[in-house]
Amino acid sequence: MKWNTSALALAVGALCSSQAFALPQQALDQFGNDVAVSYTVIDNTQDEWRTFRAVIALDNQGATALPATGWSIWFSHIRRIPTVLTDQFTITHVNGDIFKLEPTAAFKGLPAGQRLDIHFDGSDWQAAKTDIMPNWYFVSEHEGLAVSALIKSTSNMIDGKVPVLPQDELPFVGDFTTAKQWKRYDSASLSDLYDPFTAEQRFERNASLSKIDDVVGVVPAPAQMTVGTGDVALDADWIVVYDAGYEQEATYLAEQLGLTVAPWSPTTAKVIKVGWGQVSLNSRSVWTEAYNLTVDAAQNSIKIAAADAAGAFYAAQSLLQLVDNGNVPAVQITDAPRFEYRGFSLDASRNFRDKTTVLRLLDQMARFKLNKLHLRLADDEGWRIEMPSLPELTDIGSRRCHDPEERSCLLPFLGAGPDGSADSNGFYTAQEYREILTYAAERNIEVIPELDMPGHAHAAVKAMEARYHRLMEEGQPEAAKEFLMTDFDDKSEYLSVQMFTDNAMNVCMESTFNFVDQVVGELAALHQGIQPLKTFHFGGDEVAGAWKNSPVCDAFFANNDKGITDPDQLSQYFVERVAAITANHGLNLGGWEDGLMHSGKVYPRANMANAVVTGNAWQNIWEWGVGDRAYNLANNGFKVIYNHATHFYFDHPYEPDPNERGYYWAPRYTDTRKTFGYMPDDVFANADFTRAGAPISKEDVVASAGVKKLERPENVAGLQSSLWAETVRTSEQFEGMVFPRIIAMAERAWHTAPWEAHDLQSKPADEAARDADYNRFANLLGQHVFADLEAEGIDFNLAVPGAKVVEGVLHANSPFPGLTIQYSQDNGTSWQVFDAANPPAVAGKVWVRTASGERAGRATSVQ
């Protein structure tokens, strides 16, 4: 039925005259189109610490009054809302980041053509556009039935596509134009010292960089590299030959170069030889992932001699980077990795990344010699891996929609909208996961699956509740209870960091451990025949105050043989049970640092049955006083991966600017240069700024909190960076957040720079040498690597350039010399390429941006 305006008004009016009513779907759809919602942060600094004020505006742009009752607005909001500054509406927390705005009896409706502002106070602060989630929606319900409609003004789809830049994706969010909006706090006791960079400030930040003509190099930098004279010209007559055991690596190289491949033959002329060879660095033999690469222009030959197949693969990556229009410069490289573990953690659970995106990521990880993909497959907001024996995990746990009972799907967390979205819905089928494993194995990358537990488990908990209800209705009570992780009589009240009230598995229930054993076993089976599962990562992080009022736990406290009498003991109990389960499957165990300790005390390593237990150390937020957790874990026998949030969390913005994507709870921002400058040998030498922006040094940290020394450096396995996906909704956004920062992290994981601070030597970093090294690195990216990424369809971040106008002449620079800079003198209508050798004369406001291919980055102005 098609509704015209007058018919709609009559229908709504008739419904409003009844005591309790629900708006029909057609009416709700019309209000979704006509009632525009906007959201504006007013002041983050209105009190001493952690309250911000904002306004939600309802603007009725249609011809029909929004009725006084019969509807609510549901939306995602990452901060609590303790106070609504009007008597016409209430805002109620539902669960996680889902809130509900409802009219009260004081609201008399919103006539056509009128606007209403709803002021409220929220907890903490919101200092960036991406703090506000899209896809708000109307709901109308009556007697248990509900209809919903997206509020069009809050949609983040533009012409059927989600834009890359936040200002384009979130047009309903007001601009942050004043310091009160972009600062998080400003009081006598603590001030936020960060402001958005100006074009002039960026210009000064880039001042130490200069273009290196004809730059030659490999990323990450080899341990030893000598550039000779001349080059080798590759053509179709060349073939790739191999020794026994190196066929796969030779085939890969040949495919990349468009050449044929064959076993080694002494009669072949133009050959790239891939084979075994002893590798020696610093007068010692290296037997893992090491290689020699010799490009001899005089002999017109290329030879790879590697200690193992992995070394040959990495030699191939170095060779491929050196090829320029078919020519390869004469070089001699001897190389081996700094760390055995060089990883990246992909959060596929908050917002889903499809198989194609993961395969593209694996290609680039291999290119930059990363060898571990830590794949987070389950969190509160989603379960992303098919388990045939437990179909509810993906039937319910991989989908979001408006279902308050969460019996058919999860709530639409993180701005998914009433029907979910492409990024919120999805999972890897068993076949897709095996394809990912195959692709990774061919690129010397180990996949480490993570199913976070016992906290961060809302999706799994709700899926198993749905399974329970289904089987109970089918008359199978014993089967229903087999994997249940909920004590329905539990009255514990808690709020997780992400505001969930029910995201912890009940660890007092034996059925919880049945579930763990089942999913670990199925994961191991998926890996069989491709890449045997070595490590199961159980997460373990951020468990809120659960289990304090659970009858099941009370019974367990009264009758167990572990001496457990208190909820505070349950986390360690859970870890030790999971360790036993995974050890029984022949697996090692991984967890986040806070999953392996409680109240600062590391759990006994001897109580965990696995041969290896690894902890990802993520907290080096100096003022929290927990920066020594990495050393604590290593000293107590755990293998440690430095995954520090201040340098390696790529969900944080590139700049302290409200128009940049990402959260900012660890550092205010992390750019590629900061990641490049990380020094693994002395964690505390990386202290640079507090979260408020005040300079801080290693000496400050030691003086204020004391620093535990690393007594067992052999337990530091390596480095890992991470991308958490709350604000990242598309593959383009994902790649922009990851690249190029992941390349800088790969540099530090593979290569030890001479400028680094080393704990044993107690020497500070050589800042001049670090600047020079970064200039080399930035030139390689700007002049070579970025062009290759663009050609391969990787949507790397295009950094905002620096600029200044001096006596009417525009000067501009970028953090990556060689990257194209464009400028506009007509407010972005037309753009011209900036030539630093011939800077243009300009007048008035000038806009500048960087560009690559058809893509352009965020623009900034200068005058």
CA angle, 111 as apex, 106 and 112 as ends, to 5°?
155
Q: How far apart are CA 286 and CA 311, in angstroms?
A: 10
Residue 41 maps to which CATH number? 2.60.40.290
Q: Name the packing angle between helices 731-738 and 355-367 (round to 10°).
A: 20
Pair 265, 284 in one domain:
yes
Q: Is residue 665 part of a domain?
A: yes
Query: How many CA atoms are closer than 13 Å to the CA of 389, on its beta-carbon side?
Result: 15
Q: How far is CA 30 from CA 37, 65, 732, in A?
A: 14, 11, 32
Same-domain pairing of 616 and 694: yes
Determine contact, residues 60/33, Cβ cutoff 8 Å: no
Check whether residue 300 and residue 445 sit in a common domain. no
- Residue in this structure with the two tokens 């390689």, named with its chain if needed: 780
For residue 362, the domain's CATH number is 3.20.20.80
Angstrom distance (rounded) from CA 737 to CA 797: 7
Q: Quick one: how far is CA 425 from the chain centroid?
A: 17
3-state secondary structure of 486: coil
Rg value, the chain, Cα:
29
Residue 11's pLDDT is 44
* Mean pLDDT confidence for 797-803: 98
List, by residue number, the catalytic residues: 542
Last residue of a domain, one of 749, 765, 781: 765
- Among 118-127, 627-636, 837-846, the range scoring the smallest mean pLDDT is 627-636
Q: Is the pLDDT of residue 17 over 60?
A: no
What is d(CA 87, CA 116) in angstroms, rounded to the nearest whole number? 13
Strands 35-43 and 51-60, how do they pair? Answer: antiparallel
Q: Which of 335, 355, 372 is the last residue of a domain?
A: 335
Same domain (yes/no): 702, 721:
yes
pLDDT in tens, 200-246: 999 999 999 999 999 999 999 999 999 999 999 999 999 999 999 99
CATH number, domain with residue 801: 2.60.40.10
pLDDT in the model for residue 6: 43
Please state the rounded mean pLDDT for residues 494-511.
97
Residues 261 and 359 in one domain: no
Residue 217 included in any domain: no
Read off φ and ψ for residue 139, nearest 5 degrees: -135, 135
Q: Do 111 and 167 fall within a single domain? A: yes
| Interval 657-715: pLDDT, tens | 999 999 999 999 999 999 999 999 999 889 999 989 999 888 887 776 666 789 999 99
Burial zone of 761 (CB within 10 Å; 0-12 exposed, 13-18 middle, 19+ buried) = exposed
The stretch 777-801 carries a mean pLDDT of 98
Both 326 and 345 in one domain: the answer is: no
Element of type H or E holding 597: strand 597-598
Kindly provide the b/e burial profile for residues 279-316, where b requires at least 16 CB atoms within 10 angstroms of the residue's own CB. Answer: beeeeeebeebbbbbbbebeeeebbbbbbbbbbbbbbb
Provide the sign of the torsion angle of the four alpha carbons 545, 548, 549, 553, taken in this order. positive
Same structural domain for residues 543 and 411?
A: yes
Number of domains in the chain: 4
* Tokens 């600017």 -> residue: 657
Mean pLDDT of 125-131: 97
Whether the predicted pLDDT of 402 surpasses 60: yes
Mean pLDDT to the nearest integer, 280-300: 95
Domain annotation covers residue 300? yes
Is pLDDT above 80 for 623? no
Residue 1: its pLDDT value, please? Answer: 30
Tokens matching residue 521? 């076993």
14 within some domain? no
Q: Give yes or no for a contact between 169 and 162, defined as CB atoms under 8 angstroms apart.
A: yes
pLDDT tens, 626-646? 778 999 999 999 999 999 999
Average pLDDT score over residue span 172-198: 95
Residues 779, 743 share a domain? no
Q: Can you tell me the distance from the alpha carbon of 690 to that of 505, in angstroms, rounded to the nearest whole number?
A: 35
User: Which H/E stretch holds residue 750?
Assistant: helix 741-750
pLDDT of 19 strictly over 80: no
Band (pLDDT 50/70/90 cuts) for residue 862 is: very high
Residue 791 lies in a domain: yes
**CATH code of the domain in which 242 resides:** 3.30.379.10
Q: Is residue 3 part of a domain?
A: no
- 8 Å CB contact between 742 and 749: no
Same domain assignment for residues 709 and 820: no
Q: 730-764 pLDDT, tens per residue?
A: 999 999 999 999 999 999 999 999 999 886 556 77
Q: Is residue 185 part of a domain?
A: yes
Domain boundary among 335, 350, 376: 335
Tell me what pLDDT residue 699 has.
Answer: 81
- pLDDT at 398 exceeding the cut of 70: yes
Average pLDDT, the chain: 94
- Whole domain around residue 427: which residue ranges? 341-765
When pLDDT is averaged across residues 149-171 and rounded to a whole number, the result is 96
Q: Which residue has the tokens 């909920």?
A: 486
- Give the whole-number percent of the chain exceeding pLDDT 70: 96
Residue with tokens 């054993």: 517
Residue 205 lies in a domain: no
User: Do 807 and 660 lie in a common domain?
Assistant: no
- The verdict on 561 and 668 lying in the same domain is yes
Average pLDDT for 186-193: 89
Burial 790-802 (b: 16+ CB within 10 A, else e): eeeebbbbbbbbb
